[in-house]
Amino acid sequence: RKEVEQDPGPFNVPEGATVAFNCTYSNSASQSFFWYRQDCRKEPKLLMSVYSSGNEDGRFTAQLNRASQYISLLIRDSKLSDSATYLCVARLDSWGKLQFGAGTQVVVTP
């Protein structure tokens, strides 16, 4: 079983709409969580951290459910530039080793 699992998508979203997707993690000892973004064949970049109480960064909202071991990302008012693959990430160790999901592809259409 993969340590971090994501629906690969693609999620086809009209511009201006809202899209949400989850990921699940298998190790209950995971300490912290993040969403990274990866554009086609480019390097991953940190989008946002995920806090226990949930957090928002502009149009992006992240939630963590430790009891069910899943993390969610919601994108409001989608822009064409939001088209990318969103990587769910769990950190197992205090020193920073990150476990990446395979990514969820989002395609925002005009």
Partner 1 sequence: NAGVMQNPRHLVRRRGQEARLRCSPMKGHSHVYWYRQLPEEGLKFMVYLQKENIIDESGMPKERFSAEFPKEGPSILRIQQVVRGDSAAYFCASSRASGQDTGELFFGEGSRLTVL
Query: Could you tell me which residues are beta bridge partners of residue 34?
Result: 49, 89
Q: Which residues inside 39-58 make contact with partner 1, applying CB under 8 A?
A: 41-46, 49
Tokens of 57: 């960064």
Q: What is the CA radius of gyration of the chain?
A: 13
> How, if at all, do strands 11-14 and 104-109 pair?
parallel
Does residue 103 touch partner 1 according to CB under 8 A? yes
Q: Which residue stretch of 14-22, 36-44, 63-71, 73-81 sits at the interface with partner 1 (rule: CB under 8 A)?
A: 36-44
Q: Which residue stretch of 10-18, 55-63, 70-78, 96-104 sits at the interface with partner 1 (rule: CB under 8 A)?
A: 96-104
Q: Which residue stretch of 12-20, 59-67, 70-78, 84-92 sits at the interface with partner 1 (rule: CB under 8 A)?
A: 84-92
Of 60, 76, 91, 107, the one binding partner 1 by CB under 8 A = 91
Identify which of 68, 54, 61, 59 has the alpha carbon closest to the alpha carbon of residue 24.
68
Of 21, 25, 101, 106, the one binding partner 1 by CB under 8 A = 101
Amino acid at 81: S
CA–CA dist 50, 55 (Å, integer): 7
Where do contacts with partner 1 occur on this chain (CB under 8 A)? 4, 8, 32, 34, 41-46, 49, 87, 89, 91, 93-103
